[in-house]
Amino acid sequence: MVSETRRDAPGRVIPILDDELADFRTEATEFLAGQRDERLFIGFRLRQGVYGQRQPDVNMVRVKLPMGGVVADQLDALGDVAERFAPLKKGHITTRQNFQIHHIPLDQMPDVLAHLGSVGLSSREACGNTVRNVTADPWAGIRADEVFDPTPYAGAFVRYWVRHPVSQLLPRKFKVYFSGATADEAMAGIHDLGFLARVRTVDGREVRGFKVVAGGGLSTMPRPALVLTEFVAVDDFLRESEAVLRVFNKAEELRKNILKARIKVLVHRLGAEGFRALVDQELRNDWAKERIDPTAWFFHDDETADAPAPPASAPQPGADRAAFAAWRATSVRPQRQAGYASVEVMVPQGDL
């Protein structure tokens, strides 16, 4: 059963499945009672976004915030979990737009996941060898130099791949990024797959699409992503992504060594042309004979329509105008929507 409000309610990108939450409670309870194989339970637990910690008998939950989006009631729920279940009374914002909370006993984790799910927050596939949280330019939809807002397409990617059978046991984790601007704010080149917004004129009409890069990564074998294609139309970007994921999933040689199991190893061993040939070959298989229409998966969040009207006269700073001017210069940027601005708040070391 799916527990959802309006499909495109702000912050609610990943469908919450009540049956899935119930399954986690059952599996965790029976594992603690010694009725589940530990190796199998670990795989199950990771797909639900729950990590074991080096400290005994406690776990970390990683909550996905697709495209970095979160709304007030979800922040309240994260705060509730931190106060009620986390001994340190805090959470941690990650570099990939997740929210992690640590030191939670396993027998309490089902209540944590249920509480988060009640406000549309999901940890599904935030860990393990899956498609991890899909990140995006934090100024998507509001920046003046945007080619187009990638949010609907990034949301479609999230919804298409969460719980997808191809992505449940990949050779290794898989990280994806979307940008709608010419500037690359979050370094697509270090991701397994990156989508950069582009527009082309085809037969006299403007067509939206993406430049696609693949095989980037850091860690012990840093590699810059290679250009997979300079342009794929938005009508076909999900099919293109599935071809890439299927090639990755079939690369059995990557499963032999966890330290060399990322797609960057395959891409940079084959080179752009060799990897592209495998993707093209995959696109000729039966599953790819029909395009995958992204509109059924779109996430529409019209922030402009939902925004309040600007005040007729805004309060002005008091005596400390110099401090205000310094703050505004470093923490505020105008939006493309006239009369609005976005504000950045520093969270030291991500602890909140």
Same domain flag for 188 and 110: no
φ/ψ of residue 306, rounded to 5: -85, -10
Nearest residue to 70 via CA among 98, 96, 90: 98
* pTM, full prediction: 0.94
Which amino acid belongs to residue 280? D
Looking at residue 268, which CATH number applies to its domain? 3.30.413.10
> What pLDDT score does 186 carry?
75
Q: Find the helix or strand (DSSP H, E) in which 193 lies.
A: strand 193-202
The domain boundary, picked from 297, 317, 345, lies at: 297
Same domain flag for 150 and 112: no
Same domain flag for 159 and 207: yes
**Contact predicate 143/114, CB 8 Å:** no
Q: Find the helix or strand (DSSP H, E) in which 152 lies.
A: helix 151-161
- What residues contact 229, with CB distance under 8 A and at least 6 apart? 211, 212, 240, 276
> What pLDDT score does 4 carry?
47
Classify residue 339: in a domain, yes or no.
Answer: no
Classify residue 141: in a domain, yes or no.
Answer: yes
Classify residue 340: in a domain, yes or no.
Answer: no
Q: Find the helix or strand (DSSP H, E) in which 246 lies.
A: helix 237-250
Query: What 8-state DSSP symbol labels residue 306?
Result: H
The domain boundary, picked from 117, 140, 156, lies at: 117
Residue 159 domain boundaries: 131-297
> What pLDDT score does 280 carry?
97
Buried b (16+ CB within 10 A) or exposed e, 143-153: beebbbbbbbb
Same domain flag for 108 and 64: yes
Same domain flag for 179 and 275: yes
Classify residue 157: in a domain, yes or no.
Answer: yes
The span from the CA of 125 to the CA of 146, in Å, is: 30
Looking at residue 111, which CATH number applies to its domain? 3.90.480.20
Classify residue 154: in a domain, yes or no.
Answer: yes
Same domain flag for 36 and 140: no
- Taking only the tens of pLDDT, the chain with its 352 residues reads 444 445 788 899 999 999 999 999 999 999 999 999 999 999 999 999 999 999 999 999 999 999 999 999 999 999 999 999 999 999 999 999 999 999 999 999 999 999 999 999 999 999 999 999 999 999 999 999 999 999 999 999 999 999 999 999 999 999 999 999 987 877 889 999 999 999 999 999 999 999 999 999 998 889 999 999 999 999 999 999 999 999 999 999 999 999 999 999 999 899 999 999 999 999 999 999 999 999 999 999 887 788 888 788 878 777 788 999 999 999 999 999 888 899 999 999 999 9
Same domain flag for 238 and 90: no
Classify residue 123: in a domain, yes or no.
Answer: no
Same domain flag for 201 and 250: yes
Same domain flag for 110 and 188: no
Nearest residue to 306 via CA among 8, 97, 77: 8
Same domain flag for 171 and 81: no
The domain boundary, picked from 297, 315, 342, lies at: 297
Locate 315 and state its tokens. 């309060």
The span from the CA of 141 to the CA of 128, in Å, is: 30
Please state the domain count of the chain. Answer: 2
The span from the CA of 175 to the CA of 215, in Å, is: 10
Same domain flag for 231 and 92: no
Same domain flag for 188 and 99: no
> What pLDDT score does 281 carry?
98
The span from the CA of 231 to the CA of 200, in Å, is: 8
> What pLDDT score does 2 carry?
47
> What pLDDT score does 1 carry?
45
Classify residue 320: in a domain, yes or no.
Answer: no
